Structure 1
Amino acid sequence: MKRFNIFLGLLTKHHRALGMSFLSLLIAGGESLFSNVVFQCPCNATWNLPYSLFFVLVPALVLFLLGYLLSSKAKHMMTGCWAEDQKDTSDKPGPGKCSRRAKRCCKIVCSQITWSASVAPFTWIAVALLGGNYYECGVSGSVWMQKSLCSTVLEQMFNCSEKVVQMPCQKTNPTKSEEIQGILKMFRAHSQMIGWGSVAVIMFFFMLAKFCPLFSSQFTFLQLKFQKIYKKEEKKMLTTELKRHATELAQRNVKCFFENVFLDSVKIPGSDEWKKISVVIDFTDPAYTVLHEYLNKQSPERQDDHQRSVSH
């Protein structure tokens, strides 16, 4: 039982990394299925290139949009992002203008959520290039590649351009010539080199996205660790309180309706309070969360009000 608890603790601690790894394996398996079963190169001069690009880019776009749809952080950031802030009179929304809140939303959405949503499509594209099937089909329909091969390797071949277009469909043909076999191997090598290069570039930019906010952070490493724990606990407690107050309010309203009695009202924050704890804060703000910032601003005001009431 102790070992199981240790294992469960490790899963909980590294659930994000494990989830990303599982997602990458799932995407790699899906791409392999698409590449070997669904994808069938038309071997046509007009359709080879667009057909291959369609199979590479459209699933990547779908995965990217799915990453946004499944992101709870994106929903939080985008809710009311373009709503007019009446207190922000210095930068009212209008033609060619964005509210300050919208600018903050765009900054965080573009920097954080977009990178997270890009993991799945980048994985799809990289695995597709490492497989080589899409590249073989697409590049065989390229006019530039046809001219290059027909002027060098296949100079003596009759109807050279048509032969190049038909090459992806001859992979399973046992009678194919050594020249065609060598060209297909060259296509696959090009695809794999581009794939590994893309993986290296993507990992470099992900590393920058990971460490650049740390370079400019006002917090120390232990403070960031404390902030992470605090956010987790605050989210857990806030969810519990939301559920409790919503249940109390529902019970009160239903009871008032059926029993025709008026009960004491349930204390719920007003609209202004909800807005204040739902705004987007910058990375450089000293508060750990929006709720923390809101309470830090409220504390001095409440102390001043208390002192005024005592003095009177």
Structure 2
Amino acid sequence: MDSLKTILKFLNDQKTAIGYSAMALLTVGGERLFSIFAFRCPCSSQNLDYGLVFLCVPAVVLLILSFFLDSRTWKLFTGCCLNPRKLCPQCHCFHCIYVLVKITASALIAPVMWFCVALLNGTFYECALSGFENDAYRAYLCQNKPLSCKADVYRVPCGKTMMNASDSEDVLLILRAQSQVIGWSLIASTAIALLLVSCYSACRSQVSYLQEMFWRKYIEKERQHFEQFSDDYATKLADRNLKSFFENTKPDPLPLPSNNAWEEISALYSFNRAHQYYSTLHRYVEGGKRESNEDIQPAFGFVDGGQII
């Protein structure tokens, strides 16, 4: 039993890394399924359009899904048409822009993974660029090749060119090498960007490393207990209403939070140097109010970040 608890605790502590690993595996699996079962390069003048569709459209779909599944998106936009100040409280447009940048940065993870996997495999890129009708580019691909090479480039992914097998393979290798170079460059630039942002956030942190660890633990426990309390109170309310309906009796009083209370705890978190609140719920129960001097700190992105609906 102790060993099982240790394993479960480790999985819970590493769930972010496990989640990203699962996302990477699903991206790799999805790309392979597309390549094997759905993708058929037409080897015609439509190569460029066809290849770009398979390379870009899944990334766009993943970006939209990432926005849709990020709870911060709904915290920010729910009710904003009726209350525009929710987007820009106290006319601080920086707040809205900053939150949108954070949401977008998180949403870009899945599309970037798709691009990296697809480019390293090279299938979509080979098809798309073989249909790129640019004389200079085709001259580059066809260096030291027969004169028919330029007209046959779009047939290279299918292996149906008029060139000999060796020349056709050389052109295909160039396209594949370009795709993989771009893929590795994207991986390296993304890793460097993440490192720089993480270092900058840590340098700008208003609290110590250990307090931030405690903060993360608190946020996770609050989420877990909020789900449990929500389930319990929803069950109590449903039971009370059904009992009152079927027994034709007056319902027993059941205190629930007001609409204003729900609005307060549903707001995106902002850090205030004057108070040690660990969440919007913590601020509300302590009697704190949202103030215009609340500071948006990158180090505390985890407070509202990353959870799926």
The TM-score bracket by the shorter chain reads 0.7 to 0.9
Q: Distance in 2 between matches of 1:2 and 1:69?
A: 39
Q: What's 2:159 paired with?
A: 170
Q: Which residue identity is paired with 2:222? A: E
Range moving further from structure 2, 102-111 or 244-253: 102-111
Residue 42 of structure 1: how far off its partner (Å): 1.2
Q: Distance in 1 between matches of 2:32 and 2:75?
A: 35
Distance 1:132 1:152, change over 3 A: closer
Structure 1 residue 37 corresponds to structure 2 residue 25: no
Q: 1:296 aligns with which of 276, 282, 286?
A: 286
Q: Residues 142 and 149 of structure 2 are in contact (CA less than 8 Å); yes or no, is this contact kept in structure 1?
A: no
Residue 177 of structure 1: how far off its partner (Å): 3.6
Residue 48 of structure 1: how far off its partner (Å): 1.1
Residue 278 of structure 1: how far off its partner (Å): 1.5
Give SS of 1:143's match.
Answer: coil
Q: What's 2:132 paired with?
A: 142
Q: What's 1:18 paired with?
A: 18
Deviations 1:143-177 (A, max 9, x none): 22x43444784577344432112111118x89834
Q: Residues 47 and 131 of structure 2 are in contact (CA less than 8 Å); yes or no, is this contact kept in structure 1?
A: yes
Q: Which residue identity is paired with 1:132? A: G
Structure 1 residue 184 corresponds to structure 2 residue 183: no
Structure 1 residue 259 corresponds to structure 2 residue 247: yes
Q: What's 1:307 paired with?
A: none
Residue 253 of structure 1: how far off its partner (Å): 2.1
Q: TM-score, normalised on structure 1?
A: 0.80
Residue 32 of structure 1: how far off its partner (Å): 1.9
Q: Residues 47 and 128 of structure 2 are in contact (CA less than 8 Å); yes or no, is this contact kept in structure 1?
A: yes
Structure 1 residue 123 corresponds to structure 2 residue 113: yes
Report the number of matched residues: 286
Deviations 1:36-68 (A, max 9, x none): 3321111113x1111111000001111111222
Structure 1 residue 67 corresponds to structure 2 residue 66: yes
Q: Which residue identity is paired with 1:168? A: P
Equivalent residues in 2 for 1:192-211, closer than 5 Å: 192-211=180-199
Q: Distance in 2 between matches of 1:254 and 1:264?
A: 12
Distance 1:219 1:162, change over 3 A: same
Structure 1 residue 108 corresponds to structure 2 residue 95: no
Structure 1 residue 5 corresponds to structure 2 residue 5: yes
Residue 225 of structure 1: how far off its partner (Å): 0.8
Deviations 1:196-245 (A, max 9, x none): 00111112222334343332221111111111111122222222222233
Range moving further from structure 2, 221-230 or 65-74: 65-74
Ranges in structure 1 where 5+ consecutive residues have no aligned partner: 86-91, 300-312
Q: Distance in 2 between matches of 1:188 and 1:156?
A: 18
Distance 1:3 1:247, change over 3 A: closer
Q: TM-score, normalised on structure 2?
A: 0.81
Equivalent residues in 2 for 1:264-279, closer than 5 Å: 264-279=252-267
Q: Distance in 2 between matches of 1:11 and 1:276?
A: 32
RMSD across aligned C-alpha pairs, in angstroms?
A: 2.9
Deviations 1:11-55 (A, max 9, x none): 12111211211220121122122223321111113x111111100
Q: Residues 49 and 140 of structure 1 are in contact (CA less than 8 Å); yes or no, is this contact kept in structure 2?
A: yes
Structure 1 residue 287 corresponds to structure 2 residue 277: yes
Q: Distance in 2 between matches of 1:156 and 1:193?
A: 23
Q: Distance in 1 between matches of 2:169 and 2:97?
A: 50
How high is the sequence identity, in percent, across the aligned residues? 34
Q: Residues 170 and 176 of structure 1 are in contact (CA less than 8 Å); yes or no, is this contact kept in structure 2?
A: no
Which has the bigger relative contact order, CA under 8 A and spacing at least 6? 2
Q: Distance in 2 between matches of 1:150 and 1:298?
A: 68
Q: What's 2:57 paired with?
A: 58
